[in-house]
Every structure is written in C-alpha cells, then in structure tokens.
Homo-oligomer: A and B are copies of this chain.
Amino acid sequence: MFAFRVLDRSGVPAYLQLVDQVRRGLLLGHLQEGDQLPTVRAVAAGLVINPNTVAKAYRELEHAGLAVARAGQGTFTTGKVEQVPAAAYARLSSRLRQWFSDAQEAGLAPEQVRAMIDAIMDDEQRRETA
C-alpha cells in the first residue's frame, strides 16, 4: 500500500504533509492512477492523529483532482499528474543520493544539509520568478 509520515517539527500542517506525500507519490510514479489510498481510519490510527485531519487531507486531494472518495469503498488516486520519466528518475535519484552521502561523509549535520538544500532551492525559485 502507501505509507504516510507526519513530521511534527516542520510547522507544516499535518494535513498538508499528507497531501504533499500523495502528490509526490504520483509525481514520482510510486502511486499509479486508481490506486487505493489507505482508509482514513487506518491512516489516523497509524499516525496517531485525528481521523478528521486525514479526511481533510483527502478532501484537499479531491479538490486538487488527485483523488476521488467513494463512500463505502475508499479513496482512490487519479493520475492527473505528469510523472517523472523512469529513466531520468533513476539517474537523478541515484546522483542525489550520492550527494547526500558525500555531504554526510564531509561531516555535515543533517541540519546543515537541509540548510544547503533549502538555500539552493530558494535560489532556483528566485531564478524562475525573475
């Protein structure tokens, strides 16, 4: 099935984290069109959060056209997302993992790694906007 996580630290609302994880799963091909998402109750129990929070995330996915809920049956993804081509994904993913392990070997703390990533993504985003 599909495994969710919720990180309490980040300041990002839990329901948005769930939404992002599904969107990411679709973008990267880990989720395919028509796949069933875990039931609201299952996610709530697994992450020890309130079912309403999960339901809110699923509703948000419906609004975004990424999932449909069918009462009595469950919630299912719809593949309205352009997936990363598998070849590019494999290649880039492997290089990125390499980068991470190099950073770790260089003695960077996770916090420092994250800072570098964030800084560069910020730059990239500024470039797009400009």
A residues lining the B interface (CB < 8 Å): 5, 7, 10-13, 16, 20, 23-24, 27-28, 30, 50, 63, 72, 82, 84-85, 88-89, 91-93, 95-97, 99-100, 102-103, 106-122, 124-126, 128
Chain B residues within 8 Å of A10, by CB: 12
- From B27, B117, B126, A121 is in contact (CB under 8 Å) with B117
Which of A63, A89, A100, A115 has the most chain B CB atoms inside 10 A of its CB?
Answer: A115
A30 vs B112: C-alpha distance when bound (angstroms): 13
Taking CB atoms, residues of chain B closer than 8 Å to A30 are 119
11 contacts between A and B (CB under 8 A): A10-B12, A11-B13, A11-B16, A28-B116, A84-B116, A88-B108, A91-B106, A92-B102, A92-B116, A95-B102, A114-B121
A128 to B9, CA, bound (A): 15
* In the bound complex, CA of A38 to CA of B116 (Å): 22
